[in-house]
Structure 1
C-alpha cells in the first residue's frame, strides 16, 4: 500500500475511489468554465447571482475569454432568445421555456440555473402524479405525530428551499402537472411568499429567487395553464434548429459529450451518418425533401433533435461494442426505425414510402437504403 493511498477508517482497508456520476450536473460537468467566467466577469451581478447576465449568456452561447479560455456553446440558436431568458431571470418575473419536444428546454433550464445559482438540482419534475407537496412542502410524519406541527417536522420542497436561499428553482413539464397543483405557484410568483397556515406563518423569498419552468406546447390541452398563472411568467419559445447545419452541430456536440461519459469512441469519423440521420428526421418532420422537390408524409412522432441524439448515441454504442468503432449506416438504421415507427400500422407505411421514393433514389445513400430495408423487413 502506498503512503498516498487513502484507507477506510472503519476497516483499515484501502478506500474505494468514489464512483463517477453517469451524468454530472451542469455545474459539475462545466465547473472549470464557470470558474473561469467568474474570474473574468467584472460586470454588475444581480444579488446572489454567481455570474453577471452577460457572463451567463456567454456560458450558454459560448465564446473566448481574454485569457484564452474557450467557453463551449451549450445552446445553438438565436442569441436574442438567450438574452431575453437571462434578462427575465434578473427581474421579478418567472421564466417559461416553451417548445416542441427536443428543443433543449430542459438542457437550457439546467444550464441557466447552474450559471445563475451554481446549483441546478432544486428541481420539481412534473408528471400527472405530482402532488401539491412537491411545490409547497410536506411533513415528516414521525415528527408530526410525536411533536405536532413544527418547523422541524416540515419538509421543504425544492421551490421553498430556493425561496429561502435566494436561488433558482426549476419546474419541468409544467403542463403535465394537475391544474390545481400548478396554481400553488401563483402566490409564490406574485407575492414571493409561501404561506404555512399550519404554523401560522410563511416563507418569504429572498432576493435572487426565481423559477424556470418548461412546457411542451404539444401538451396543450393536457393541463393548460390558467390565465392567472401564465401572466406570472415571461414566455420564451425555443424553436427547432433553423438549418440542417445547426442541427447537425447540436447532435454531434451532444453525442460527443454523452459518448465521453459512456466511454464511447468519438463520433467524428461517423459525421456523414449524423448528417443522414438529421436529414431523414428533418424531411419527415417537414413533409418535404431538403431540395423542396418531393413531398413526403410525416409520421405520428415528433422526430426531434433529442431523438436524433438518442439514435446516434445508440448507433455509436453498437459501433463500439459490435463493430469497428466507426459509426456506419447499419448502426443507426434500427434506431431510426424505432424513432419513426411509433404507430406500427400507419407509421410503417410512411417509412416504407419514404425509403422507396426518397432514400432509394438518393445518390450515395445505397448503403443506408440497404441497412434500413434490412431492419424494416
Structure 2
C-alpha cells in the first residue's frame, strides 16, 4: 500500500516538473522549494495545491474572470526569473493575491524588503493572515489601489505586477529606481504578455516577453469588449484608441456569407507556438484586436473556426474582419498544420491578404523578437510604431534574430 505523499514531496515534485520545461535561477528554485504553497490556500487539498494551475480565491460576481486568484506556479517561476531580484533588493508587488508570491519574494530578497499592495480588503487580509502564519511577518501588506503603488517604502529596485496592466501608471515611474526592473502582464491589442522592462532614465526598455493571462487590475478601463451576435457567443476585444464598429461587424456576420479563406506559406507542428504572429502584427498595424469565439458559436457554425477560439488575433476595419486559422494538411508528418486567414465583409480579401502578410513576415524569421520601449505621456516616444495610452507611450519595433533583443 503506497503512502500518501507529504506536502514537501508534492512541492518538490511540482518544482521538478517546472524545471523539466524551463530552467530558472537557483534563487527562484530554492524559494519555490521552501515556501509552502498549501499554507496560502487553506481548505484546498494538497494535491491541488501543488498542481500547476491557478486557484480562484475570490469570485467577481457578474464578471467572467475572478477578482483574485493564485497564479499558475510555472508562470510565477517565469515572472520571478524575469524580475531577477537580488538578496538586498527592495521589492514592490502590485496584487497581493494569496500572499504566496510575496513570500517567494521575501525568500529571494532576504536582505531587502518586500511590500505588497491590493485594493480588495478581503484579499489584503487573507495575504496578511497567511504570511503571518507562514512566518513572513516582515512582509508589508497594504490595502490600497495598486495603481498608486506604495510611495512610503519607495524607491524600489524591483516592481512586479501580478494583475493585468493596460497602462503603466505615472506613480510607478516615481517609485522605480533608475536601473531598476519592472515586470508586468501588459495588455495591448487584445493580448497579454509578461514583459520585463529595465528603467533607463525616462525610458523602460524590454529584454523579454512571455505569453500569459492575468485578471485585469481594477481601475483601468481602456480595453473594451463587445458582442458580435445576439447571444454573446462571439466577442471582439479592442483598445479605446482603435476604430472598431461592433454593430457593423455584427451585421456582416449575420449576413451568413461563407468565409473567404486564404492560406499562408507557414506550416507548424502540433506543439509549435505561433503567438509571435500576433506580436509581429502589433509592431505596425493598429487594426489588430482579439476575437473570442465560444463553443456554442462553433457548434452553431456561426463562422469558420479560429486558430485559438478563446483568443485569436483579428484585423478589423469598418464592417470587415480577418482572423487567424489553422488547417490540417498532413503533407509533412512533423509539421502538418498550415496557418492562414478567414475573412468576412466587403474588405475581406484585403484584410485576409494583410493578415497573411503578417503571418509570413513572422515565419520568415521565427527567432525575431519584439522590442518595447515605454516613455511617460508627455515625453518624446522612441522611434518605431507608437501606441499612445493616457499615462504612457509604447513604442514597438521588430528585431530580427535572437541577438537583436529580448
With the length of structure 1 as denominator, give the TM-score of the two structures: 0.32
| Structure showing greater Rg | 1
**Greater fraction of residues in helix:** 1
TM (norm. structure 2) is 0.30
Which structure features the higher share of strand residues? 2
Larger RCO (CA within 8 A; separation ≥ 6): 1
